[in-house]
Amino acid sequence: MRLRKASAFTAAVITLSLAATACGGGDDEGDGDNADGITIGIKFDQPGLGLRDGNNEYSGFDVDVATYIAGELGYEPDQITWREAPSPDRENLLRRGDVDMIVATYSINEEREEQVDFAGPYFLAHQDLLVRADYEVPDVEAINDMTLCSVVGSTSAQNVQEDFAPNARLQEFPTYSECLNGLEGGAIDALTTDDSILAGYAAQEEHQDKFKLAELDLSDEYYGVGLPKDSDRLEDVNAAIEQMVEDGSWAQAVEDNFGPAGYEAEDAPEIGARPTD
């Protein structure tokens, strides 16, 4: 895919915005009571998407999207409180009011839409496998003989069990980082989740040349912005996503975060698009 470049001005705005966010944003200890700002749930352990480093600075495509949306809603970067949103806890975080929204590789599906509202989608990924560099997966059927790892509460784990590899040995851990440790050590054959997430891990300096994507495109995963049910922000968030695509900021964020991994992202999906059977 050929991504159009954002203007120099837009790119500069994004850079300054993210720098301010990293320095001024809150951490995951907040309780969601952010009267003068907005609390946004993200992943803390997904390089390229949502990552908190040792200096409590945040980076990744989801962080860029969340920062842009917050800006369109009237919040400066230093008014954002970041809170960790592990996959099994996302619905509860929204239901309890611990966060105002979640931008955390949150795949839209019917079961989740019964509990929360989704703006977007803002990204289309595909489930795949991350394997060791010398490991070959000849076809989808071969996955049934493998030991896989994914995270608790993810659609990836559900897809393995219900769809393409019901006989595979599946291990579920709280974080992808734990799965990656098992993959590197040989305890598992593959980490399965969205290709965007896998590309982020494979691109890390310490992992280069160790792993590769199987490139199987096992499913379509439409990432949405999670909002509390019957949220009055739904239309405004959708408008913010559309504006981010139109002004080139979305394309710039894709290039900045996924370009180093050589990951070919899909074009931005239409607002309202949903997975089909």
- Where along the chain do its domains lie? 8-123+221-261, 126-219
Q: Kindly list the distances between the CA atom of residue 29 and the CA atoms of 82, 116, 205, 233, in Å, as whole numbers in the listed order.
A: 9, 23, 29, 24
pLDDT exceeds cutoff 70 at 13: no
Provide the token pair at 249. 């900021």
- This prediction has a pTM of 0.79
Provide the token pair at 277. 């059977």
Alpha helix segments (H runs only) across the chain: 8-24, 61-72, 90-96, 110-113, 155-159, 176-185, 195-203, 234-246, 249-258
- Report pLDDT for 205: 80
Q: Kindly list the distances between the CA atom of residue 151 and the CA atoms of 60, 190, 228, 240, in Å, as whole numbers in the listed order.
A: 19, 13, 23, 30
- Report pLDDT for 21: 42
- pLDDT, average across residues 156-175: 89
- Report pLDDT for 277: 54
Q: What is the pLDDT of residues 20-55, one digit of tens each?
A: 444 445 554 444 556 689 999 999 988 999 999 999
For the chain, give the mean pLDDT: 87
Do the domains 8-123+221-261 and 126-219 sit in the same CATH topology, yes or no?
yes
- Out of 3.40.190.10, 1.25.40.420, 3.30.420.140, 3.40.1710.10, which CATH number does the structure's domain 8-123+221-261 have? 3.40.190.10
Q: How many residues does the chain have?
A: 277
Most confident of 179-188, 211-220, 232-241: 232-241
- Report pLDDT for 175: 82
Q: What is the pLDDT of residues 119-151, one digit of tens each?
A: 999 999 999 999 999 999 999 999 999 999 998
Provide the token pair at 177. 């980082």
CATH node for 126-219: 3.40.190.10
- pLDDT, average across residues 238-255: 97
Could you give the maximum distance between any two Cα atoms of the chain, in Å?
A: 54
pLDDT exceeds cutoff 80 at 9: no
- Least confident interval from 72-81, 186-195, 200-209, 266-275: 200-209
Distance between CA 265 and CA 217 in Å, rounded? 12
- pLDDT, average across residues 178-198: 93
pLDDT exceeds cutoff 70 at 174: yes
- Report pLDDT for 153: 78
